[in-house]
Amino acid sequence: MSSESAAALGPSYLAQPHEVHRCVLLYSGGLDTSVMLKWIQDEYDAEVVALCIDLGQPEDDFEAIREKAISLGAVASLVVDAKDEFARDYVAPSIRANAKYQGGYPPFTALGRPLLAKIATEVAREHDADTIAHGCTGKGNDQVRIDATVATLAPDLKIIAPVREWQMGRDEEIAYAAEHGIPVASTAAKPYSIDDNLWGRSSEGGTIEDLAAPPPEDVFQLVTPPTRAPDEPADITIGFREGLPVSLDGEELPLVELIRRVAEIACRNGVGIVDHIEDRVVGLKVRDIYEVPAAEVILTAHRELEKLVCTGRENHAKPELDRLWAQLVYEGLWYEPLLADLNAFMAAVSERVEGEVGVRLYKGSATVTTRTSPRAIYDRSLATFDADASFSQNSSPGFIELFSLQSRMAYRVSEGRRGG
Ligand code: ARG
């Protein structure tokens, strides 16, 4: 094939209709992927294996989703519980990296997509499928994350993303569903585009797109609006080992359970609402409303503990690397070697990130109130204002003289030029 005709066909991983015999569809049970399940059978004359993955999205009824796929003609329908893997291999490193994209978004969707794509490639092998199908649009980040992961892990598999291709709008999809006997839940009329898992929930679209308006109240499905949160604060203590939360109020808990419990307390106290303007990989600027109760509390506590056990130099350098970590993950580059390099750095620092952090949750805020650590680089007898401390104050003037040397010289030079 000449390079021109290859280019005309687009990227090599996109499937041509005749190449698809059996595909694994990342299935959520919602309108898009339900229409897709039928559409692929009709348009591609292909078999569909439906795959729904549990990453801890709170409301989903997985058995109903599994059955719905079968009723729409899937040759197999699987639900995979990946909560523990998600927490251990995706959320945990993001905690060590204090991950917040552009300072506000703890990347839960961005963490989930590479795992969904990885599991899809595994299921494709087990079921002899040649193609992965997903419901991402051509405007978002999720297509980048899924396509990049599949193309990395299984370059021989093809990808189809019907929403990117079909020219159906929402009303046409609903009409298609009616025509093909696809049950449309009343949730199809939902005013926002939602994605959620264990680590957070996002809402986009609809009236959220009006940047001049405050977030519409009906967006919030997890976190109690701070104005309606209890008048009494809630105080909790999170214990960390190796940079990861391991206990809540002294009780050791597996990560998934700990995240759930922290989320519950934070939700009640109005903590974890983020109204975020962000830059998507494909260049669009959008507004997201996030509900990230557990992430807000755990990341706040984790950062605070790092500050206590790391040196000043580390505390200045790490946020730069944290920022880079979040950007790579946001951009879907989960298998980029630089990310593995950064993870090695995060793991090395995390060896010392051990201790307990008390956090007060009150009407939308999460404030650190106490910290204790066997690894603290803190000595009260050095820091104290009381007399007879062991810090040698007599050494300070000499230090300051050298420490300020260049700055003083530069000042003198520029004053001299001004004067002369
Ligand atoms: N803006 C967030 C991100 O890029 C959330 C995206 C939510 N995805 C969705 N398909 N609704 O990770």
Which of the residues 32, 147, 195, 196 is marked catalytic?
32
Which of the residues 130, 193, 360, 373 is marked catalytic?
193
Q: Whose CA is nearest to atom 10 of ligand 1?
A: 195
If you compute the radius of gyration of the chain from its CA atoms, what whole number of angstroms results? 26
Picking from 79, 259, 290, the residue whose alpha carbon sits closest to that of residue 195 is 290
**Joined tokens for residue 328:** 């790579």
How far, in Å, from the CA of 220 to the mean position of ligand 1?
16
Q: Pseudo-torsion of CA 283, 284, 286, 290, nearest 10°?
A: -40
Q: Looking at the domain that runs over 196-372, which CATH code has it been given?
A: 3.90.1260.10
Query: CA 62 to CA 81: how far, in whole Å?
Result: 10
Q: Which atom of ligand 1 is nearest to the CA of 194?
A: 11
By most ligand atoms within 8 Å of CB, the mutation choice from 109, 190, 275, 328 for ligand 1 is 109
How far, in Å, from the CA of 195 to the mean position of ligand 1?
6
The residue whose two tokens read 């989903």 is: 60
**Predicted local distance difference test score (pLDDT) of residue 185:** 75
60 lines ligand 1 (CB under 6 A): no
The answer to whether 219 and 202 have CB atoms below 8 angstroms apart is: no
How far, in Å, from the CA of 112 to the mean position of ligand 1?
10
- 54: annotated active-site residue: no
**Joined tokens for residue 51:** 């795959």
Residue type, 244: L
| 293-309 vs 255-268: helix crossing angle, rounded to 10 | 110
The answer to whether 271 and 364 have CB atoms below 8 angstroms apart is: yes
Which of the residues 113, 145, 303, 352 is marked catalytic?
113
Q: Is 155 exposed, middle or buried (0-12, 13-18, 19+ CB in 10 A)?
A: exposed
- 142: annotated active-site residue: yes
- 3-class SS string, the chain: CCHHHHHHHCCCCECCHHHCCEEEEECCCCHHHHHHHHHHHHHHCCEEEEEEEECCCCCCCHHHHHHHHHHCCCCEEEEEECHHHHHHHHHHHHHHCCCCECCCECCHHHHHHHHHHHHHHHHHHHCCCCEEECCCCCCCCHHHHHHHHHHHHCCCCEEECHHHHCCCCHHHHHHHHHHCCCCCCHHHHCCCEEEEECCEEEEECHHHHCCCCCCCHHHCCCCCCHHHCCCCCEEEEEEEECCEEEEECCEECCHHHHHHHHHHHHHHCCCCEEEEEEECCCCCEEEEEEECHHHHHHHHHHHHHHHHHCCHHHHHHHHHHHHHHHHHHHCCCCCCHHHHHHHHHHHHHHCCCCEEEEEEEECCEEEEEEEECCCCCCCHHHHCCCCCCCCCHHHHHHHHHHHCHHHHHHHHHHHHHHHC
**Predicted local distance difference test score (pLDDT) of residue 187:** 55
Domain ranges (residues) in the chain: 3-189, 196-372, 382-417
Q: Which fold has domain 3-189?
A: Rossmann fold (3.40.50)
- 113: annotated active-site residue: yes
143 lines ligand 1 (CB under 6 A): no
**Predicted local distance difference test score (pLDDT) of residue 350:** 98
Instruction: Tell me the backbone φ, ψ of residue 168, rounded to 5 degrees.
Output: -80, 130
291 lines ligand 1 (CB under 6 A): no
The answer to whether 25 and 50 have CB atoms below 8 angstroms apart is: yes
**Predicted local distance difference test score (pLDDT) of residue 188:** 54
193 lines ligand 1 (CB under 6 A): yes
How far, in Å, from the CA of 109 to the mean position of ligand 1?
6
Residue 275 C-alpha from the chain's centroid: 15
| 108-126 vs 142-153: helix crossing angle, rounded to 10 | 40
Q: Whose CA is nearest to atom 8 of ligand 1?
A: 195
Neighbours of 28 (CB within 10 A): 19
- 5: annotated active-site residue: no
The answer to whether 48 and 74 have CB atoms below 8 angstroms apart is: yes
How far, in Å, from the CA of 142 to the mean position of ligand 1?
7
Instruction: Tell me the backbone φ, ψ of residue 215, rounded to 5 degrees.
Output: -55, 130
The residue whose two tokens read 């109760």 is: 293
- Averaged over successive runs of 10 residues, the pLDDT of the chain (420 residues) comes to 51 88 96 95 96 92 96 97 98 98 98 98 98 96 98 97 88 91 73 95 96 95 97 98 98 98 98 98 98 98 98 98 98 98 98 98 98 95 76 91 97 87
**Predicted local distance difference test score (pLDDT) of residue 204:** 96
142 lines ligand 1 (CB under 6 A): yes
250 backbone φψ class: left, alpha, beta (φ>0; ψ -120 to 50)? left
Which of the residues 28, 94, 142, 147 is marked catalytic?
142
The residue whose two tokens read 């990117």 is: 164
28 lines ligand 1 (CB under 6 A): no
**Joined tokens for residue 22:** 């059996």
Instruction: Tell me the backbone φ, ψ of residue 231, rounded to 5 degrees.
Output: -80, -15
204 lines ligand 1 (CB under 6 A): yes
Q: Which atom of ligand 1 is nearest to the CA of 136?
A: 10
